[in-house]
Amino acid sequence: MKVLVAVKRVVDYNVKVRVKSDKTGVETAGVKMSMNPFDEIAVEEAVRLKEKGAVEEVIAVSIGVAQAQETIRTALAMGADRGILVEADGTVEPLAVAKILKELAKKEGVELVLLGKQAIDDDMNATGQMLAALLGWPQGTFASKIEIADGSATVTREVDGGLQTVKLKLPAVVTADLRLNEPRYASLPNIMKARKKPIETVKPADLNVDVTPRLTVINVSEPPTRKAGVKVPDVATLVEKLRNEAKVI
Ligand code: AMP
């Protein structure tokens, strides 16, 4: 079976983000960009499924500017077989991404779409769920374990207060949580090999998807700076301050 993995190019998680002076978003000019961390986990899982023999082909797809090709190359270096870049400038909201992924999933005849549980830039946590709804496929979100057997995916989900296991009939949509696996580092030979793997470029219009934004961002601001704390010499002083200054005990 074929697997489609969605990989988004986002500001690297080590970068301290700065809000643009016009408060419309965060600064991305001159900032290090990388694959969304949860998408690395999704790619790793797809590659592991291929290594186990449960999957024949892994297709990495990214929707965004031309440089999102680099994100696809990273997925190829980790072991994906080929890539699709859906080239679009500006913001592409989760619903538009889900519509694009739906068209590609149908066109490619995949039986599993793997996504990250959320993109760390906008924290929407919506694309996988919307995709499952559009396709009418079952979904397993926040996955910490995936097993494929007999036309089904058994997915362990991280839910409040524990783990939930669901059995999904394939085709299905699964979103990766942090504990699903530890993504590999691409080795130099694999990075070289990835340069030869094919990446197809299409436009949203080729898939008949309109990506015009439907949401208006009113304001983006930094969180209020926290006041500096104080160091206390011992427990007795701490208790005294909690009782008499903070008045919480
Ligand atoms: P979100 O719903 O925006 O938090 O994103 C959830 C997941 O959807 C991400 O972890 C990606 O796997 C996928 N995704 C969202 N936007 C894109 C994009 N522009 N290109 C590729 N995948 C995306």
pTM of this prediction exceeds 0.85: yes
Domains, the chain, in order of start with CATH, read 2-222 (3.40.50.620)
Q: If you measure from the C-alpha of residue 26 to the centroid of ligand 1, how many angstroms do you get, rounded to a whole number? A: 17
Question: In sequence order, what DSSP letters do the residues of 187-212 get, joined into one string?
Answer: PHHHHHHHTTS-EEEE-GGGGT----
User: What are 190-227's pLDDT values in tens digits?
Assistant: 999 999 999 999 999 999 999 999 999 999 998 888 88
Please give the Cα distance from 96 to 213 (Å, whole number): 8
Per-residue pLDDT tens digits of the chain, which is 249 residues long:
999 999 999 999 999 999 999 988 899 989 999 999 999 999 999 999 999 999 999 999 999 999 999 999 999 999 999 999 999 998 999 999 999 999 999 999 999 999 999 999 999 999 999 999 999 999 999 999 999 999 999 999 999 999 999 999 999 999 999 999 999 999 999 999 999 999 999 999 999 999 999 999 999 998 888 888 889 999 999 999 999 998 998
Place of tokens 């559009």: 134
Q: Whose CA is nearest to atom 17 of ligand 1?
A: 8
Q: Using the atom order of ligand 1, give the atom closest to the CA of residue 64.
A: 19
Other residues' Cβ atoms within 10 Å of the Cβ of residue 245: 9
Within 6 A (CB) of ligand 1 lie: 6-8, 36, 38-39, 62-64, 92, 94, 97, 115-116, 118-119, 122, 124-128
CA of 220 to the centre of ligand 1 (A): 20
Joined tokens for residue 184: 């590999």
> What tokens were used for 224?
């209020």
Ligand 1: atom nearest CA of 61 is 21
Output the CA 213–ligand 1 centroid distance in Å: 15
pLDDT, residue 121, reads 92
Q: Which atom of ligand 1 is nearest the CA belonging to 129?
A: 2
Residue ID of nearest Cα to ligand 1 atom 6: 118
Q: How far is it, in rounded angstroms, from Cα 183 to Cα 7? A: 13
